[in-house]
Each structure stands twice: as C-alpha cells, then as structure tokens.
C-alpha cells in the first residue's frame, strides 16, 4: 500500500512558490482534477463547509462499495479493516501502537486514563479549543486548568511554569486549526518538569513529527476533519509499550490484549472503532495525499491572493507544520460584524472557531481556576479572529471570489 506523505514536506514546496504559475506548474495534477471535477459548482453561494461536498464523488463511490462489502460480511463492530488502518497509522507515525477508537473524544479520555489522570489531578489545556479537550479531562474527574494562547492560537509553553502545581498530572496542548506552533517547546518544558504530554491532534492529522513530542497522540476522524469517516471515529498512538497496553485496556472494557471476555484488568470503555468506520477510513486514507496537497495549495493561494491586505489582516504564522484544518485570520483594522455582514450579502459565509473561550463556561470543576483577568491578552486576540472557508473540495474559483470580497471590503 502507498505510503502517506508528511504534510510538512508538501508545505515546504507550496510555500516556496512565488506566483500562482509556479503552483500550477508543480501541481498540474491537482489543478487538472479541480477543473475536471463537475461537482465543483461555482454558481451559488460559498458556504463555510458545505456538507454535501465533504466527500468527492469518487470517495463516495468507493465508500459505498466497501460499506456494501462490510454489510454482506456482518463484521460491523470488530473486523478486518480495524487492524489494517491501525497498522497504517502506526507505521505513518512510526509509533509503537495505534489504537483505533470510536471518537477523538474517547481517544483523549483513553490517553488521560493511560497516564493515570484521575479525580483531584489537574491538566493544563489551552482556553480556546473545542469542548472535547476540556470535557475529556472532566470525564476522568480531573480539573482542566486553562492556559493563555498567543497569535499562533496555540497555548504558550511558558504557561506551564505559571500554572503548574503538585497536582498537575498532564499538559494537553492542541494543534488548533492544524498548526503545530509551540508544540515542541511545550513538550520540552513539560518533560523537564516531569509532566506527561498528550497532544490533541484532532485537527492535525498528517504531521509525523508530532509523535516525538508527546507521550500519547490523539486523533479524530469525524466527518468534518481533514480526513473524515462516515461517522465518528478517532485514534490514539504512543511510542511506549507500557502506555500502549494500558490504552488498549481502557479502550475496551479493561480486557488485556488477546483476552477478550476473560477477566478484566480494570474497568474500560466500549470505545474501539467500528469496522464500518475503519472501512471508510481505509478508503479515505487512499485519498489523503491528494486532499492534503489540495489544502496546502489552497492555503498557499490565500497567502498569494491576500498579500496586499497585510496591513488590514494577519495570516497564520505557522506555514510548514500545519495541516490547514481551518484558515484563521486576525483583523487588524475594521469590524468583524460589519465584515461578516458584507461577506454574507455577497454570498460568502465566514465563521469563528470557537465563538467563546473555555473559561467563560460554567463547569463546576473548572470554576475557581478561571479568573477572567488572567486571560485578557488571549481575549483580545480572540476578539479579532475569524476564519475563511477552506475544505478539501473547495474550488480555486470560489477562493478567488472570497479574495475579491475581502478586497472590496477593505478598499
């Protein structure tokens, strides 16, 4: 089976392009396919993430075929595709073990349980992630302690020193929007302080080096991710044989490896990936390289198209270690609401991920750790944030229209 490419190597190439002509010349296959795809209908409005275009025609066709085989086989829960994709993912990251899970959230819970996080412990998390990050911490009875971010949108490594206490059991950085900025430094600081690191890479599948900067790596393959299945699924990976054994146990009722239905070692979840989802993931993995290249191209095109607006907006700072799950922008000038209204009138949907920061929630476990004054810098950054559409099956024509709308707004 073909090896999956590392996304950072694609970024190195796309971001060395000085003009669109360079990109067209180097990625003729992608440009050709886009022009050839009759599903790219540029006549209508530009939705942020149109659900009917989550999968290309070809992906849908192949998934229908494979799902039909699974239906005939009766292997709905455990089954052959699970082992296949676990080995593919393990080998891509050069990990000791990959455990395919029923969601990215469960992957996080399994990872936290594997390093022994429980009631009374604290876990440092960024304050701007999807709720799953802090919820997984609370699901094991621990307290999420929110860390400030900077304009990379990732948590600041220095926050570990400020926030750590004798109860700090783990740090859970998130590669938000696909960017790995600060992840190495976060691991270095945590490692020196003897604190375990779980990376929430739900938005960042495809950067191989991440596995070297954590104890466990957590992925999501829900349908909205860069590589999404036809339902919920995820994975947890580790380089450690000991953590691998524990993670496997916690992923399925506490049974030791190879001892299903024999006496459990400890309690465990019912969180293995279904064979149905594994089958669709095996199809999506075949298309991953092309889709990842496409995202990198779209990102590089945004930089080229919007270069002259640099005094009005700032574009993401991490170009190499980035899977471009979302394309975040910081507004330097102008007003977000008026920009959103202007774009909407022109048929372009902009969005903000995520609209509110975690410390504004009312989780009883986190209250007392969330004094708002300490987050004013993060709040300032967050108040200037918005996202442009970017997905696997967006056309370059649509992207040109988005650029035109931004230029017209700022002129």
Ligand X SMILES: Cc1ncc(COP(=O)(O)O)c(C=O)c1O
The token pair that represents 148 in the structure block? 């400030």
The token pair that represents 191 in the structure block? 């490692």
Contacts with ligand X by CB under 6 A: the residue count is: 15
Q: Does 358 bind ligand X (CB under 6 A)?
A: no
3-state secondary structure of 99: strand
Q: Which of 104, 144, 178, 389 binds ligand X (CB under 6 A)?
A: 104
The token pair that represents 37 in the structure block? 């795809």
Stretch that binds ligand X, among 44-52, 98-106, 316-324, 342-350 (CB under 6 A): 98-106
The token pair that represents 13 in the structure block? 């190439």
Complex with ligand X: residue 180 or 406, whichever CB lies closer: 180
Complex with ligand X: residue 27 or 153, whichever CB lies closer: 153
The residue to which tokens 């694609």 are assigned: 10
Q: Does 222 bind ligand X (CB under 6 A)?
A: yes
CB of 35 to ligand X, least distance (A): 32
Q: Does 220 bind ligand X (CB under 6 A)?
A: yes
Contact 183, 210 (CB under 8 A): yes
Complex with ligand X: residue 11 or 105, whichever CB lies closer: 105
Q: Which of 17, 99, 123, 174 binds ligand X (CB under 6 A)?
A: 174
Complex with ligand X: residue 232 or 284, whichever CB lies closer: 232
Q: Does 251 bind ligand X (CB under 6 A)?
A: no
Contact 136, 241 (CB under 8 A): no
List, in sequence order, every residue forming a beta bridge with 149; answer none if it has no partner: 155
CB of 277 to ligand X, least distance (A): 11
Residue 89: closest CA among 70, 64, 107: 107
CB of 314 to ligand X, least distance (A): 22
Longest dimension (CA), the chain: 69
CB of 75 to ligand X, least distance (A): 22
User: Cα torsion at 183, 184, 189, 194 (round to 10°)?
Assistant: 90
Stretch that binds ligand X, among 90-98, 100-108, 238-246, 363-371 (CB under 6 A): 100-108
Q: Which of 132, 180, 195, 216 binds ligand X (CB under 6 A)?
A: 132
Q: Which of 234, 316, 328, 389 binds ligand X (CB under 6 A)?
A: 234
Using CB under 6 A as the binding rule, the residues of this chain from 184 to 213 that contact ligand X are 200, 202-203
CB of 350 to ligand X, least distance (A): 19
Using CB under 6 A as the binding rule, the residues of this chain from 4 to 33 that contact ligand X are none
> What are the helix (H) ranges across 27-153?
28-36, 57-73, 80-93, 104-114, 131-139
SS3 content of the chain, % helix, strand, coil (to 5): 45, 15, 40
The token pair that represents 166 in the structure block? 């004798």
List, in sequence order, every residue forming a beta bridge with 270; answer none if it has no partner: 252
Q: Measured at the alpha carbon of residue 319, what is the angle toward residues 315 and 323, in degrees to the nearest 5? A: 105
Q: Does 323 bind ligand X (CB under 6 A)?
A: no
Please give the full DSSP string across 158-208, using - where no structure is assigned: THHHHH--TTEEEE--B-GGGB-TTHHHHHHHHHHTT-EEEEE-TT-TT-G
Q: Does 238 bind ligand X (CB under 6 A)?
A: no
Complex with ligand X: residue 130 or 396, whichever CB lies closer: 130
Complex with ligand X: residue 62 or 106, whichever CB lies closer: 106
Complex with ligand X: residue 202 or 298, whichever CB lies closer: 202
Q: Which of 114, 133, 249, 358 binds ligand X (CB under 6 A)?
A: 133
Contact 138, 183 (CB under 8 A): no
CB of 127 to ligand X, least distance (A): 13
Complex with ligand X: residue 17 or 137, whichever CB lies closer: 137
Q: What distance in Å separates the CA atoms of residue 362 and residue 14, rounded to the nearest whole number?
A: 43
The residue to which tokens 């412990």 are assigned: 121
**Chain centroid to CA 382: how far?**
19
- How far is the CA of 28 from the CAs of 55, 59, 135, 164, in angstroms? 21, 21, 43, 50
Tell me the per-residue interface mask from 110 to 129 with ligand X, x by CB under 6 A, - otherwise: -------------------x
The token pair that represents 380 in the structure block? 């300032």
By beta carbon distance, the residue nearest ligand X is 104
Q: Does 105 bind ligand X (CB under 6 A)?
A: yes
Which residue ranges make up the site for ligand X (CB under 6 A)? 103-105, 129-130, 132-133, 174, 200, 202-203, 220, 222, 232, 234
């Amino acid at each position: 089976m073909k090896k999956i490419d590392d996304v950072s190597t694609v970024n190195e190439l796309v971001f060395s392009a000085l003009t669109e002509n360079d990109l067209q010349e180097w990625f003729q296959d992608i440009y050709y396919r886009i022009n050839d795809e009759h599903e790219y209908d540029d006549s209508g409005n530009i939705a942020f993430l149109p659900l009917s275009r989550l999968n290309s025609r070809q992906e849908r066709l192949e998934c229908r075929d494979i799902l039909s085989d699974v239906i005939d086989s009766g292997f709905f829960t455990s089954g052959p595709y699970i082992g296949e994709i676990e080995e593919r993912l393990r080998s891509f990251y050069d990990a000791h073990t990959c455990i395919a899970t029923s969601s990215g959230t469960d992957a996080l819970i399994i990872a936290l349980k594997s390093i022994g996080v429980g009631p009374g412990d604290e876990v440092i998390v960024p304050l701007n992630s999807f709720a799953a990050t802090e919820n997984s911490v609370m699901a094991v009875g621990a307290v999420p302690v929110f860390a400030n971010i900077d304009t990379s949108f990732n948590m600041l490594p220095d926050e570990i020193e400020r926030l750590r206490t004798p109860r700090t059991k783990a740090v859970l950085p998130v590669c938000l929007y696909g960017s790995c900025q600060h992840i190495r430094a976060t691991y270095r600081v945590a490692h020196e302080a003897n604190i375990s690191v779980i990376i929430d890479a739900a938005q960042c599948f495809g950067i191989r080096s991440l596995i070297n900067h954590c104890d466990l790596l957590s992925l999501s393959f829900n349908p909205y991710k860069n590589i999404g299945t036809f339902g919920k699924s995820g994975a947890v990976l580790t380089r450690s044989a000991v953590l691998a054994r524990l993670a496997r146990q916690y992923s399925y009722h506490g049974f030791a490896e190879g001892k299903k239905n024999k006496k459990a070692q400890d309690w465990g979840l019912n969180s293995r990936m279904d064979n149905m989802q594994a089958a669709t993931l095996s199809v999506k993995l075949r298309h991953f390289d092309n889709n990842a290249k496409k995202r990198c191209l779209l990102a590089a095109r945004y930089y080229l198209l919007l270069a002259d607006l640099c005094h009005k907006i700032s574009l993401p700072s991490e170009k190499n270690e980035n899977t471009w799950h979302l394309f975040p922008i910081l507004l330097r000038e102008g007003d977000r609401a008026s920009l959103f209204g202007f774009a909407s009138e022109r048929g372009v949907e902009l969005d903000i991920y995520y609209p509110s920061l975690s410390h504004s929630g009312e989780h009883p476990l986190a209250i007392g750790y969330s004094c708002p004054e300490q987050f004013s810098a993060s709040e300032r950054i967050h108040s200037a944030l918005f996202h442009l559409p970017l997905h696997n099956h967006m056309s370059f024509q649509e992207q040109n229209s988005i650029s035109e709308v931004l230029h017209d707004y700022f002129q």
